[in-house]
Structure 1
Amino acid sequence: MDRVIASDPGLIRFLSAARIVTAILLCAALLAASHYPPRTVVTGATAAEVFSFAVSATNRREQAVTLAVGLPTGLAALTVGTLIAPNRPLADLMCVVVVFLAAYSRRFGKRGSDLGVIAFQMYFISLFVRTGPEVVAQESTVLVIGWCSAVVVRFAVVRVSPQRTLLRLCESFRARLLQLIDSLIEVAEQGPDAPTAEPAMRRLRRRTARLHQAALMIQDHLDEGIRDPAVAADVQRRIADAEVAAERLGAMLLGALGRPGANPVAHDLTDRLVAGRPPEQVPLEVARPDLVRRLVADLRALREIASRTAVNDQGVGLKIVRDRLLGYRDPERLPEAPAPVRDVFRAIGELSRGLMGLRIALAGPDDSPDDSPEAARSREELQTEEAVLEAEDTAQRAASRQTEPTGMRRASTRVAVQVAVASALAILGGELLSPQRWSWAVLTCWVVFVNTSSSGEILVKGYRRITGTLIGVLAGIWLADLVGNEPWTAFALLMLCVFGSFCTTATTYALSSFFVTAMLCLLYTLLHSLTPGLLELRLGESAIGAACAILAGTLVLPVRTYERTEQQVREVLGRLREVTGQGVAELSGGRPVDLLERARTLDNALDELRTATQPLRHPITPLRNRRRITRYVLGLLETAAYHARSLAAMAQLATGRRTMRSDVRLREAAQRVDRNLDALITCLESGGNCREPLDTGAKPLFGRWRRTSSAVREPRPEARQTEEPDTTAAQALRHLQRVDEEVVGLARPLGMRLDTDQREPSGRHDDAEVIAA
């Protein structure tokens, strides 16, 4: 069951697809019972589908308002399309106008975007079924039946409330955390030299990313799921604490295995460049066997604690185990072992504390009289931290708003012009191929432009649309031959395809296109009009639509992929600078702020960067060198964001302490990171005109540098063991050092020099130079 919950956080995709399929079935049953003709049933089923998926609001009241306004909008679009259908030139012109208005409506927020989708889809269905003015009343009646079916299913049959969705998301977070701990146990038991070690570490990285994704989804649903802002902020902080503690535990375990560069949140290419060298020391392997067994046993105990909910979190034995793990936060309770191994046990204690805080935030405090001193201390720290942050939240939440672009620089206007031009070209090309089925080309144009922000994203999405359609045509021929003259079998498979298309839309667009094409094949099988020529026409019209979308996205008001990427890199660097600067300020005794909220803003910017760079990282791109550079830069930013999140979490945990005000190293390192980030941002804003080199620092924060590359440097293992592992300052310095290393590593890929370049021999190259060559 945990696998199902973890695969679909909050069951959002499953419930959305189930709601759509149920609405279609209800509408089709009502229309069939009323003896409507098959083509009219298609219109009603499409209306039920559109009114089910087009509403994006999570609040019930907002959903009701959107549906209420959506009914006249859909009726108007369907009526206009039906009345002017006989006049082909006018219908084509109106199609371009509707597409433009539907895309432009995005500037009015979610509701405007939803109404635009409803208008386009209803106008499109009037073209698809090819009706005339004589059936306007019948088509309008069928649309109202489809609307009623969608409303009944949404509010009475498949009811989804923001509160229940948030609870399911939290359960998915717990399930993914359990999977991550399972990977940690697997890595610890196998060791770094086992034949299956690399696949285990790949699973660890993948599950760490999935845990991070679940945390971001919880953040997106907090405002609607929890009405009290203070409680929502508390849950967000506890989710972030648990996530950062889990990531830190993975990083510490890999470090103890002699893989300090194999960060579980780092990109694969960065992992190979930084951690591909032979380890100089493997502390966990040379440790006593009983210590290794103790570590594995503690990880299993941690998994048992994480698997318990507030209802079944009872029993003296469980409390004893929990208190023992919490005791690892005390340096005196750590086992005698090398410093990297002690870091792993300390990270287990921090994750135990994170799980306690998350449990208190979700289920309320539970002060047990038989708590150990460790558990009581953790509860007091959580309560103190919450009191301090709650007092400062109101004053620190205001954020400056950027001036919105105007004219053609506004994204909604630009996309509306692009999709209108693409639709006009698709109408011309589609009618040359088939005067009856040209609407397929227009539909492909529309869906290719949805949720894209650059010409590269349009290219990738068009490629996936064609690929999914091609495979769907082949599968449709096979399914049509399989079902033969069994209409109920064909109808059941059709509903499965509808369910699959909406379940996979947010994950794999090619697979969603496959299900849509297979669904059309089954639909035409039910209508007894499926022919091989029709399927070839479907593929050809889709190719024309995708080509027109790519052509318009490339030539009409284009946003180049590298421009979008540079913009997002600047955004990520700015957010990184904010998190590290304010984190160090709070550690040094400054005024407390909601650092985790700012860390989440950094995460969102990084997610947008991943989306923007997807065309550059796609396997089909011919620019292999640029793909390597993009993956390298993204890996450095992912690692820097991880350490910035860890620094923010430590600053929140250290709220109220004043032990680091006099730490000169912390301030000096923070100033260097701030200068370097400012230099990188200035360089990108000036279009690569970088005059000043980055400051690599006169000496490392801990011990002596060991040169692996000028991009990423790591202190020697023996220097690590002489640092101050038991103090918050030492841990903060370690995270800040890693941020510093990743920022310096961005210099050459982004076109900057290092202050060591003038002193190094001209024939000496590093990994970043090899990639950029």
Structure 2
Amino acid sequence: MSLVRAALDRLFPPDPGWLRLIAAVSATLAGLTTFVIVALMGTIAGVPVIDRVLGFAIALFIAATVRDSTIHQKLTTIAIGGVGACASTIVAALLIDQPMADAVLLPAMMFVIAFFSVRSPRHGSIGLVSLIAYLIALVSKQPAETLPLRLLVIVVAATVAALVRCVLIPERPESEIERLRHEVRSCISKVLALVAAAVGKGSWTAASRRRLRRQASRLDEIIMLAQARLVSSAKQPAYPGWGWLQLFEIQLATRRVEQIALQDLGGPEERVALLSRIEVIGAAGQQAPLPPAPGRLGGALDMLGHVLSEMPVGEPDYPAFVPPAASPPAWRPALQTATASTLAIACSELILPNRWYWAAFAAFVMFRETRSRGESVAKGTAFVIGTTAGLVAGQLLATLLSGHELQSIVAIVIAVFLAFQANVIAYSVMVFWITVILGLMFGMMGYFTFDVLLTRLEESAIGVASGVLVACLVLVRRERDVTEEAAAAFLNALRNLVRGAAAVLLEGKPTRNLASHILGTGQRFRELEAVAASEQSSFGMVRRERLRRRVMVLGACENWGRELGTICLRSGRIEDAGLTKIAADALARTDATLGYLTGAGSKTAGAIAGADTANNVVPAGADDPISHAVHLLLRLDAALDRVAAIRDERASVR
């Protein structure tokens, strides 16, 4: 059953707020509408099938890749993308009798696209659309006399994409936010249902523990999406319902229920009351004060019910936009892309003359949105696996639908939807559906044979092999280096967060950017998780285990730092002299340890270790927010000391 669930999760991964579904509808509608318009144009003047495919592909990729936030910015990107597609089509037509020039120009074009794609999503969208138009022109080899009609098709495609993205299916932040809030409620209900089932039985099974952790992780992802939408829409009127800070508190309260439930389900005499409280919270939050629920789990449930029913009054200003962590210089992936595509073209010319297009494209995608050698190799492997499986499916479908244009378009539309569903989450599945789409398109253009698809597979292998060679020899960026950079970015963000909290707790001075520090710390940790996963899949057991422990401890630090920052946004200065001394000492040690870990300071004496010590120095029964903030500081102090020990352990075995 778990294998079936895992397979379904890869084919149909969760889509919070229907964001991928709506993106798929927009892109597919743009492509399909353009296809129909170009087909109708064929009733007036002769329009070859390849131009219908050209219009479909350009409209699809424009609608799918535009990422601007305002309508004016979207229209600008779409217009420039259309101009880029026209320019690349003209160049390909003019070089139709000069295959050597084609082969030389493509790596140069890929270099420019890869270089500017690092700078902004707009450059990436324009570059990708131009590249698709150029590759279609190379495959079809239509002469210059057909240029006016093809340019008209591109203009129609860009116009349709603009109408779909800006008029028919515009992005409505308030609707997206409300759908995401609904997803948050649904996730919390599922978490509570799992906890209730365990409370009723009095124990957990291994499977139910996994389901609870998976559901809690999904809640984290949905809340991050909702917060990003709220922050990006902060200049618009406030939306009714949970605000971005309350979403933080809901996330923390739900996580606390999860963590306590996994450790303590309460005694037999407490479980009836716990089940009753879960039912009340799941039905309508906690609308009115209720008697305290028993035990630690009861306290966590009461807190969750309170947060869910609390009105978002007096929220701080929305945090500023948090830019991504510093990326490597743009010339590195650009040079690797150009070198790999050149090598792929050269090898293809030796093995498969005049069939080098797909090999060059395979080399191109290997370095798109990858950060290290390991990620590039993994992406290339997934590309070959997806292409191989797509080859079989594409052969079958194209054979069955040969000569049936309408049925082929329907199949392409379905494949586009499924490719969007797999996008980012399951790269090999996305490549599978793209390969199926290409097989169907080749069939519609009249170029389809099994030999053609088999050639695609051979070209993919050549392109990926070229990419692997370049990734391992040219400007190599090791996984460990990328992980260390991501860890340093996270620790620096955490240091800013802790310093902002210190200003509130010790001086009573609200930090203007504290909210942005909270968001930035969470974002940096997600980036660290992503690159660490790549390193963990590449090396031996000892290094994997050491990295796993390090990321696990840093994850706890991110969680405690987020909770600390959230408290400081709504609380003030510590008034108790004893707590002030404890907090000041912990903050000093934490700042020093963070300085040591980021290379900005020297190692200091060990921190207070463990939650038990924290419970001894903070007065027992002090559950007010300020006392809890001091608890969190002590936990951060101890955890970061553990991270320093792991670092020293790693250094000693080098």
Secondary structure of 1:749's counterpart equals helix
541, 544, 548: which one aligns with 2:462: 544
612, 616, 629: which one aligns with 2:535: 616
1:353 aligns with 2:306: yes
1:16 aligns with 2:23: yes
Residue 722 (structure 1) shift: 9.1
1:305 aligns with 2:284: yes
385, 394, 408: which one aligns with 1:490: 408
Residue type of the alignment partner of 1:695: G
- Indicate how the Cα distance of structure 1 residues 191 and 673 shifts in structure 2: closer, same or farther if over 3 A, else same: farther
Aligned to 1:213: 221
TM alignment of 1:410-489, pairs within 5 A: 411-483=329-401, 486-489=404-407
Aligned to 1:595: 514
1:248 aligns with 2:256: yes
Residue type of the alignment partner of 1:417: L
- Paired with 2:403 and 2:85, the residues of 1 have a C-alpha distance of 35
Contact 2:119–2:330 under 8 Å retained in 1: no
Residue 228 (structure 1) shift: 4.6
Secondary structure of 2:646's counterpart equals coil
TM alignment of 1:626-645, pairs within 5 A: 626-645=543-562
- Paired with 2:567 and 2:232, the residues of 1 have a C-alpha distance of 28
Contact 2:349–2:355 under 8 Å retained in 1: yes
- Indicate how the Cα distance of structure 1 residues 77 and 661 shifts in structure 2: closer, same or farther if over 3 A, else same: farther
Aligned to 1:134: 145
- Paired with 2:466 and 2:173, the residues of 1 have a C-alpha distance of 39
Residue type of the alignment partner of 1:64: L
Aligned to 1:329: none
- Paired with 1:703 and 1:625, the residues of 2 have a C-alpha distance of 31
Secondary structure of 1:559's counterpart equals coil
Task: Name segments (4+ residues, structure 1) moved above 6 Å.
Answer: 229-234, 397-402, 719-722
- Paired with 2:544 and 2:143, the residues of 1 have a C-alpha distance of 52
1:562 aligns with 2:527: no
Residue type of the alignment partner of 2:606: D
Contact 2:188–2:219 under 8 Å retained in 1: yes
645, 648, 660: which one aligns with 2:565: 648
Aligned to 1:103: 114
- Paired with 1:659 and 1:442, the residues of 2 have a C-alpha distance of 67
633, 638, 641: which one aligns with 1:736: 633
- Indicate how the Cα distance of structure 1 residues 158 and 588 shifts in structure 2: closer, same or farther if over 3 A, else same: same
- Indicate how the Cα distance of structure 1 residues 436 and 556 shifts in structure 2: closer, same or farther if over 3 A, else same: same
Residue 652 (structure 1) shift: 2.8
39, 44, 47: which one aligns with 2:58: 47
- Indicate how the Cα distance of structure 1 residues 658 and 348 shifts in structure 2: closer, same or farther if over 3 A, else same: farther
Residue 437 (structure 1) shift: 2.8
286, 289, 303: which one aligns with 1:324: 289
Residue 234 (structure 1) shift: 8.6
Residue type of the alignment partner of 1:243: Q
Secondary structure of 1:322's counterpart equals coil
- Paired with 2:358 and 2:13, the residues of 1 have a C-alpha distance of 36
- Paired with 1:580 and 1:205, the residues of 2 have a C-alpha distance of 27
Aligned to 2:3: none
Residue 583 (structure 1) shift: 2.5
Contact 2:571–2:626 under 8 Å retained in 1: no
Contact 1:73–1:115 under 8 Å retained in 2: yes
Aligned to 2:175: 164
- Indicate how the Cα distance of structure 1 residues 24 and 643 shifts in structure 2: closer, same or farther if over 3 A, else same: same
Residue type of the alignment partner of 1:218: A
Residue type of the alignment partner of 2:483: T
1:31 aligns with 2:38: yes
417, 421, 436: which one aligns with 1:518: 436
450, 457, 465: which one aligns with 1:532: 450
- Paired with 1:179 and 1:461, the residues of 2 have a C-alpha distance of 34
Aligned to 1:724: 621
Residue 147 (structure 1) shift: 1.6
- Indicate how the Cα distance of structure 1 residues 487 and 128 shifts in structure 2: closer, same or farther if over 3 A, else same: same
Residue type of the alignment partner of 1:416: A
Secondary structure of 1:522's counterpart equals helix
Residue 233 (structure 1) shift: 13
Aligned to 1:74: 85
- Paired with 1:533 and 1:65, the residues of 2 have a C-alpha distance of 41
TM alignment of 1:203-282, pairs within 5 A: 203-228=211-236, 235-257=243-265
Residue 462 (structure 1) shift: 0.8
Contact 1:703–1:720 under 8 Å retained in 2: yes
- Paired with 2:41 and 2:406, the residues of 1 have a C-alpha distance of 19
Residue 720 (structure 1) shift: 12
- Paired with 1:732 and 1:537, the residues of 2 have a C-alpha distance of 62
Residue 694 (structure 1) shift: 5.4
- Indicate how the Cα distance of structure 1 residues 692 and 722 shifts in structure 2: closer, same or farther if over 3 A, else same: closer
- Paired with 1:595 and 1:288, the residues of 2 have a C-alpha distance of 43
Aligned to 1:664: 581
Contact 2:292–2:298 under 8 Å retained in 1: yes
TM value normalised by structure 1: 0.76
TM value normalised by structure 2: 0.89
Residue 294 (structure 1) shift: 0.9
More deviation, 457-466/25-34: 25-34
Paired residue total: 640
Residue type of the alignment partner of 1:292: R
Aligned to 2:4: none
- Paired with 2:276 and 2:242, the residues of 1 have a C-alpha distance of 31
- Paired with 1:398 and 1:489, the residues of 2 have a C-alpha distance of 45
Aligned to 1:583: 501
Contact 2:321–2:516 under 8 Å retained in 1: no
1:695 aligns with 2:606: yes
Contact 1:187–1:201 under 8 Å retained in 2: no
495, 503, 509: which one aligns with 2:427: 509
Describe the superposition over 1:274-318 as per-residue Cα deviations: whole angstroms up to 9, x where unpaired.
Answer: xxxxxxxxxx2xx242x2111122112111125xxxxxxxxxxxx
TM alignment of 1:75-90, pairs within 5 A: 75-90=86-101
194, 202, 207: which one aligns with 1:199: 207
Contact 1:43–1:125 under 8 Å retained in 2: yes
- Indicate how the Cα distance of structure 1 residues 483 and 125 shifts in structure 2: closer, same or farther if over 3 A, else same: closer
Secondary structure of 1:57's counterpart equals coil
Secondary structure of 1:7's counterpart equals coil
Residue 603 (structure 1) shift: 0.8
